[in-house]
Structure 1
């Protein structure tokens, strides 16, 4: 195997042993400033307004409550209102992708990572496939583990990580997780995975929802506002 830049960067030495590269999708594999997930978030609110006959203010409160107690709005709607998740997923992922441009640097660096590559998302596989196609990926990932495969139990629930790792035969000690939400890195870190927080370009911190409190950062090994550049420090030279 070709040597990587890790041999000259002690801060990244942990990645020399990584053979399973796990990426969140939204606001991680594509930049936050594209606004794609803002569209998804808006459609989630619209769904809550319509399905529960709520005002915008009520829908905001419901979403915050469901995210706090259930992890996602979808999980709360399933548990407390018995909704069919399929129409929900279709509705909230019906967004405009035109602001998402191909990212050849990201495609190239992920393609050079040694070992296997995965997407672990609280969205749907269809949503992930559309995003990956827009970015310019052509089947580089060994698995897309979506919310359906997780039986609609979202990250950061420990069962979701356990199911994902078990189905793919991944040793957490040789895996790295890339995420834009600090809370979703706590379980991976506890399992022995290397963790990388992806923040919006030009910022020092991840956005925090109104219902959240800023998490302790002890479970975050590295942070980057430019995923392709960070990965280029890890991936073997072309």
Structure 2
């Protein structure tokens, strides 16, 4: 049982967006994932299967496929972001319980996402929480250097004057919690249900760890937040 006292020092609450503020099971990111594959095909002239392998390699090795494409193919990041986020947001259902649980948290609330602000606002509007967050720190604010690179966190913490020792980070990818842990932040991995599988999701994207950089794991973010508040 998570004790509320363990979080009494937190003044800044930092959330990833995709597969964190909405359940991975709604498959919103699957739409983006497919559009990214077609984008890689257009850039590289590879067939679908080969483009998909390259896409996932870049995602794993560079933090985002975008970063890999920028490093290896010098693409225009704005064109990429506008293209891959041209999706149907209706799979994200309103979530008043989550919205109220976040609203009740004491202190400031932020989104730290490897996506862009327009995408984040579209998701928040669907959830019903467009006014919840003090700021969305997106991939452009990171100057396109994404999580899990340390620079992504350093720029965010500096911009908002956040003391890591009084902050907490929620993310679906355990590798994105290593730097926050090293800086002194509390960390929570938000995971899919135990039986979730998807042919577009590699095993490492769903992996959970016993490493000490993940302090808490939950498959129910709203319930977790209610319990600690």
Q: TM-score, normalised by structure 1?
A: 0.89
Tell me, in whole angstroms, the C-alpha distance in 2 between the residues paired with 1:227 and 1:10: 13
Structure 1 vs Structure 2 CA RMSD: 2.1
Aligned length: 226
Tell me, in whole angstroms, the C-alpha distance in 1 between the residues paired with 2:211 and 2:119: 29
Deviation, structure 1 residue 72: 1.2
- Secondary structure of the corresponding residue to residue 110 of structure 2: strand
- Secondary structure of the corresponding residue to residue 170 of structure 2: strand
Structure-2 residue corresponding to 1:192: 184
Deviation, structure 1 residue 58: 1.3
- Secondary structure of the corresponding residue to residue 233 of structure 1: helix
Tell me, in whole angstroms, the C-alpha distance in 1 between the residues paired with 2:158 and 2:75: 28
Q: 1:216 to 1:153 in 2, by over 3 A?
A: farther
Structure-1 residue corresponding to 2:220: 226
Structure-2 residue corresponding to 1:96: 88
Deviation, structure 1 residue 55: 0.5
Q: Deviations over 1:37-59 (max 9, x none)?
A: 11111111111012211111211
Tell me, in whole angstroms, the C-alpha distance in 2 between the residues paired with 1:204 and 1:51: 32
Structure-1 residue corresponding to 2:15: 23
Q: TM-score, normalised by structure 2?
A: 0.92
Q: Does 2:116 align with 1:116?
A: no
For 1:78-227, list aligned pairs within 5 A: 78-202=70-194, 209=202, 217-227=211-221
